[in-house]
Every structure is written in C-alpha cells, then in structure tokens.
Chain A
Amino acid sequence: MELSFAQNFSLIALNAQDSLHLTTAKKVSLRCMAAAAICELYLDHGFTMKKDVLTLAIQDLEQSTTTLYQETVLKAILGKNENLSDTLPHYLTHVTKLSNKHLREVELTFADSLKVIDELEEIPNLLGCDLEFKTAGISLKEYRSNAELFTRVTESLRAEILEEGTMTDESSLMLWLLRESGCLYDIFSKEELKRVVDRINEIFESNSLAKQVLPVNIHKSIEMSVKNFLTIKRQVMSTPIGTGSNFTFPVFERSQSIFIDTEALFSNKEDRLRDVIARLEENGHTFTVIHEGEVPVIKIDNFLYEAIPTAMQYRFPVQGVRLRKYPLY
C-alpha cells in the first residue's frame, strides 16, 4: 500500500518516539509533521492559488479528499478565522505557534492513520520495567514503524537525494522536513551529509519550490539542541566503554540501565531469573532466555541483555538485577 507524503514523513519522524508523553524530541517531530500536512495539501493543489498567495477557507476542509490529519492541522492554524491567505513559507511558519494541545491532536490523528493500516505500532519501553518507574506508576511506550516500509521509504529517499539527476518536489520538501526535524542524521552517514549539503545548494538554485521553502526555519533551537544532545548521549553509551561506565553510573543514561528488583533478599539465580521474567511478561515484552546461570543472557525485543545481580542503595538496600546490553563486538 502506498502512503501519502505526510504519512511517509511521519513514519520516519514518529519511529522510536515516546508514545505516551509529549517529550521535547517528539515536539520537534510533531511540528514538522504538521508542516508535512501543509506541504501535502500544497502538492495536491488543495489551496486556492493566486500567484504566490495561497488561500484556504474553513469550508474547503470539508471536501472528501481532505484527510483527517490535514483537517486537524489546518483547523489549528486557521483558529477562529474563516479563511487565511498567505504565502507557502508563512503558512509553514504557523506550525511553530501550535500549542501542546494542538500538537497532541496532530500526533493522535497521524498515529491513528498509520496504526489502522498496521504500519505503526506502540511497543512497551524496557525502562518501564525499572524499579523506580514501576513503583512510581509510570508506564512507558514507544512508537515502532513497520521495518520493511521504513526501509523502503528511507532508502528510496536516500537514492533520490544522493543520486545525480533532478529531484522531485516531494523529495525537495522531504529533505527540508528532515533537516528541520533533525532526522537527517538518522538517515545519512557523516560522509553522505556532505553530498546532502551540496544537493541542498543545488536545488536551492534550480528548484523554485525549494527556493521558497529552504530558507524557512520551523525548528526551535533549544528543542533541537536538547534532541541532539540526547542522541549523542545515547550513541556514546552504546559503545563498549560507554556501556561499562553507564553500568557503574546509571544516572548517565537511564534508558540504558534498567534495574529490576527481586522479591526476596539473597535470592538464588533461579528465583532472580523468575522475577525478571515475571516483570518482562507483565510489561508485555517479547523475550527469549538465551542461557541461564549466574548471569543469564536474555534477548528482549531483539536486543541481547545480560542480567547482572546487583543491589541499589535506597534507605535500605534493594537486591535485584541490572540489565546491561550484551557486548556483541
């Protein structure tokens, strides 16, 4: 099944984002998803155009061709106005003013449109099994895009951007959205990014739509810095040295240091494993115990973890295991 332009972008932007809370990283994505809905309407000639000025009236949104996510975004932008006339770059900058309430609506309609066709699912986040999150009653889930479609969408985009030849308007707009959402770094390697910069300059000179859109900034610098910092932190902690230091100082990267408490003090290895399995089952994770023993290795949601016996110092010590990513290299 072929997805629309905005759905293709949201498949990239929502992947691996926290689905229950409005995190800073997700806000960046949601604003760009709203911009993608505007771009889609522009590409499909949904606006009344007079030279560079695009006009949209509230009754235009009642047409059968308008999707629910387009309607949600444009109603939020129109606000109490009956209609709005503006240039495309100005329409796009409106997304920076969307409130948290509107951003949540945008997320819901986009996520639902993808979930209904089984291209997006919500999976439990492993951090939800952690003692502190569990006792605080915090449940954590994240979005996971359909892996096959994700590859198809990102790889065809990579092909069009990195390959010689003219770029279509969809790809130019997608490139701008990826730049604004900070997703460029997820799709292109450092070396490829040099070619991407050349391509951006190239389309700025040759493509009239790109010339209008590329100077528009819809990202907020603080949000983008937070997102980049968190990404770098996670990357550092994924290295063998990072994993080791994170195990000693779990506060560095909480998402990579999950502590599961055991029911009894001084429990044996079988009891410890039983308690870990019970917690994983309770939170709906898919897992396989690769080998048992003093330090069992468990495959949880396609990642290998060692369950190392340890204790946490609260007002009184709590015994349990800490999950550590199993070093594969």
Chain B
Amino acid sequence: MSRQRTMEKILTSEYVSIGELVRLTGCRYSTLKFYTEEGMLPFEQEEENLTRRFPREKAIAKIKEVQDLKKSGLSISEIKNILSLLHR
C-alpha cells in the first residue's frame, strides 16, 4: 500500500514532491508549477515521466525569497533577473 507521508516525515526529508511543498508552504499548486517552469525553483528529475524532487530547505527558502520580492512590488520578470544575478 503506498501511503502519503506524514508532515513529521516530510519535515525530516531532504527531498519533497511538489504536493508536499504545497502542504509545507500553503502556496497554490499552480503558483509553484509556474515558478518551476520559469526556472525559479530548483528540482531534480531522474527521467521525464518521473516525479520531480525538490530539495526541501532550498525550495522553501527560494519560495520565501520570491514572495518577499513580490511583496516589495517587483514583477515576475524583475524577480527572475534578480534571482539569476544573486545565484550566478
């Protein structure tokens, strides 16, 4: 039987799925999907059809960073530029 992981387990794992990232951050799935497609969220994927794995701590920090920049009034393209400069 394949069961969903408890929050306790998720909080101790190195990698999480996008669904678990939604549970952790409370962000909408479509928002995180957009960030991923725009290259703002780091992930690993063994094959094209397999689940994307997100490094938990890094991904949460990145989401927080994006949200803070958005709150300060920046557009998504400006945020993308800033992030690429910061993490070059």
Contact = CB atoms under 8 A, between A and B. Distances in A.
A158 B83 CA distance: 27
Interface string A186-216: 0000000000000000000001010000000
Contact of B51 (A43, A151, A163, A171): A163
Interface residues on A, range: 20 to 34
Given A164-B51, A165-B17, A43 B3 contact: yes
A13 B20 CA distance: 22
Interface string B1-35: 11110110000000001111111001111101100
Interface string A143-170: 0000010011001111110111111111
B49 interface: yes
Interface string B50-70: 111000000000000000000
A2 interface: yes
Interface of A: 2, 43, 148, 151-152, 155-160, 162-171, 207, 209
Contact of A165 (B29, B30, B50): B50
Contacts of B23: 152, 156
Given A160-B17, A164-B50, A166-B51, A148 B2 contact: no
23 contacts: A2-B7, A155-B27, A155-B28, A156-B22, A156-B29, A157-B19, A158-B29, A159-B17, A159-B29, A160-B17, A163-B18, A164-B48, A164-B49, A164-B50, A164-B51, A165-B49, A165-B51, A165-B52, A167-B2, A168-B3, A170-B3, A171-B4, A209-B1
B3 to A, nearest CB: 6
Nearest to B31: A155
B65 to A, nearest CB: 20
Nearest to B25: A152
A2 B11 CA distance: 13
A165 B18 CA distance: 11
Contacts of A159: 17-19, 21-22, 29, 32-33
B7 A151 contact: no
A271 to B, nearest CB: 44
A43 B26 contact: no
